[in-house]
Amino acid sequence: MGLLTLPIVIVVSEEALKAVPNSVREAAFGLGASRWQVVRHHVLPYSMPGMLTASILALARTMGETAPLIVMGAAAFIPYTPDSPYDRFTALPIQAYRWALHSNHDFHTLAWGAVLVLIVLVLAGNLSAILLRDRFQKKYRW
What does the pLDDT look like over 41-89, one tens digit per residue? 889 888 888 888 788 778 777 777 766 666 666 655 666 666 777 877 7
Could you list the residue range(s) of the whole structural domain that residue 26 is in? 2-139
Residue 8, judged by CB atoms within 10 A of its CB (0-12, 13-18, 19+), counts as middle
Report the CATH number that the domain containing residue 56 is assigned in CATH. Answer: 1.10.3720.10
Q: How far apart are the first and last CA of the chain?
A: 36
Alpha-carbon span 34 to 1, nearest angstrom: 38
pLDDT at 113 (0 to 100): 92
pTM above 0.85, yes or no: no
Number of H helices, E strands in the chain: 7, 0
Whole-angstrom Cα distance, residue 74 to residue 139?
Answer: 45
Residue 32 backbone zone (phi > 0: left; psi -120 to 50: alpha; other: beta): left
The number of folded domains in the chain is 1
Q: Is residue 89 helix, strand or coil?
A: coil
List all residues 6 or more positions away from 140 whose beta carbon is below 8 Å from its beta carbon: 45, 46, 48, 49
Structure confidence by residue, pLDDT tens digits, 4-30: 788 888 888 899 889 888 898 999 999
Closest to 49 (Cα-Cα) out of 4, 6, 15 = 15
